[in-house]
Amino acid sequence: MTIGIVGNGIIGLMAAYAISARQPNVPVAVIGRKSRVGCASLAAAAMFNSFCEIEVGTLSNSIERQRFLFNKQSNSRWPGLLEQLRSESSQLIHGGFGTFLIKNATTDWLEDNNFDAICAALAEFGEPHQEASAADIAHYKPSAAGRATRAIFIPNEGWVNPVHLLSALDSILSRRKNVTFIDDHAHRILTSSGKVTGIALEQGDPVSAEQAIVCNGAEFTALMQRSGLDALFQRVFYGVGATALLECGEHATKNCIRTPNRGLACGLYSAPQTATEVVIGASNFISPVPEKEARLTSVFTLLKSAMEQINADYYRARLLRVNVGWRPTSSDTLPLIGPTSVAGLLIATGTRRDGLHCSPVIADYLTDMILAGTSAQDMRLYAPERPLTRLYSREEAIEKYVTHTINAMYQHGFTPPQGRTLEDIRQHYRNEFSALHEQIGAKDWGIPIDMRDMYKYGHITP
């Protein structure tokens, strides 16, 4: 019985790592091109964040609270796991723990409100943290206008260099005798009488398999369409995100420094990748089709923000690379994880912004399900064939949309003139999003704000 794993990002590799450790005699085939175009895992910072991802309202929304509690389970896993992977691979995996959460006044009140929500959550869960003086953060040297108004240090939230992490996993798995890597793309999942029988490849011979874990990130829907299985699942989109890798020499930050999430994205961060390199992130837009190159506005905003809000000396940093990754983002924005009505087919995608962090827990669950058919982990919220989950009321969604859109405008240089303009703009967005709700018949539920264009242009039909 071969287990086919479709996708060689963090979810695929961690699943292969966990399955092959628990069952060293079961053949596991990891399918995915070595080039890993659009691989979200490689574009990630990659931060191990639970609390820093909290926004105003997260913990009072019962679904988002469950999602947070799920994410939080991985926190305690990473320190030991990184040590284990370093030891097993004999490779350097640059990473660390201790994140400075800062807020500054370059955007608007949403930043303060999200910062306060994180502080309240740290207190509620008894998570260690302490006030910090922003001026004392090593290699944090923003411009006067971009300086932080407050900072807290959260010792258990960390980061890792994702290139090092995936390389170490590749190396460990390639030495496991039951794991093979297939440098090809899956073309179709082959089924017969409602059961998985194999995986057709784009170039090579089909792989015969009775079980398949499909974890090919944002390309999930394309594969399901080719397999004739797309009617079973909600659509997964490309959350196109860019990060910039800088060589900063002695000015590289030593800890992760980040803001709370900002409007329509994850805020600004600087995460060390080596002793002299940092990655600055991240942009985000949702697309029905893949985009391989970063847009100029994303790169411009990242570099400008790095110099103004992290370290003014980065004007002389060298731009080593712009990473582009596709966050797998489902139509209702929740992950799709678990078994399906097709016997032998398991799905793990839609992790959006925190899949790298959550991968140890997801991999354990997939291992339980594929080897034993049961797990102590309750994953009903993420059942792959669920109807779209409605996270927000219509009023909540409209308010959120207005707040996030205006905050996003500030991130891109908006300065309102004196007068009524800002209130007029708010009213415009309120009217526009209300009209979209009317148009699609969303009476008692709200459109997830990231998905505005997907509903507007008919990529999601309610």
Sites of contact with ligand FAD (CB under 6 A)? 6-12, 31-33, 36-37, 39-41, 43-47, 185-186, 215-217, 219, 223, 241, 243, 281-282, 325-328, 349, 351-357
Q: Using the minimum distance from each CB to ligand FAD, give the nearer residue, 47 or 134.
A: 47
- The CB-of-214 to ligand FAD minimum distance in angstroms stands at 9
Q: Using the minimum distance from each CB to ligand FAD, give the nearer residue, 345 or 398.
A: 345
- The CB-of-306 to ligand FAD minimum distance in angstroms stands at 14
- The CB-of-32 to ligand FAD minimum distance in angstroms stands at 3
E-strand ranges in 248-371 read 256-258, 269-272, 277-281, 285-287, 318-330, 336-339, 345-349
Phi and psi of 16, rounded to 5°?
Answer: -60, -40
Residues 207 and 2: their CA atoms lie apart, in Å, by: 9
For the stretch 441-458, what's the b/e string if a residue is b when 16 or more beta carbons lie within 10 angstroms of its beta carbon?
A: ebeebbbbbbbbebbbee
- The CB-of-245 to ligand FAD minimum distance in angstroms stands at 11
Tokens representing 239? 């959350």
- The CB-of-423 to ligand FAD minimum distance in angstroms stands at 33
Any alpha helices (H) in 316-393, and if so which ranges? Answer: 355-372
Looking at beta carbons, which residue is closest to ligand FAD? 9
Counting DSSP H helices and E strands in the chain, the numbers are 12, 19
Q: Which of 366, 271, 282 is nearest to 326 (CA)?
A: 282
Starting at the edge strand found earlier in the chain, the sheet holding 186-192 runs 186-192, 195-201, 207-208
Q: Using the minimum distance from each CB to ligand FAD, give the nearer residue, 32 or 344.
A: 32
With contact defined as beta carbons under 8 Å apart, do 137 and 153 qualify?
no
- The CB-of-64 to ligand FAD minimum distance in angstroms stands at 16
Q: Using the minimum distance from each CB to ligand FAD, give the nearer residue, 111 or 170.
A: 170
Tokens representing 292? 């391989």
- The CB-of-182 to ligand FAD minimum distance in angstroms stands at 8
**Identity of the residue numbered 338:** G
With contact defined as beta carbons under 8 Å apart, do 41 and 166 qualify?
yes
**Identity of the residue numbered 46:** A
What secondary structure does DSSP assign to 127-140, as a single string? ---EEE-GGGSTT-
Q: Using the minimum distance from each CB to ligand FAD, give the nearer residue, 108 or 309.
A: 309
Q: Using the minimum distance from each CB to ligand FAD, give the nearer residue, 43 or 334.
A: 43
Q: How many CA atoms lie within 13 A of 86 on its CB side?
A: 13
Q: Which of 354, 389, 314, 438 is nearest to 63 (CA)?
A: 389
Q: Using the minimum distance from each CB to ligand FAD, give the nearer residue, 47 or 442.
A: 47
Q: Using the minimum distance from each CB to ligand FAD, give the nearer residue, 272 or 446.
A: 272
Q: Using the minimum distance from each CB to ligand FAD, give the nearer residue, 139 or 353.
A: 353
- The CB-of-250 to ligand FAD minimum distance in angstroms stands at 25
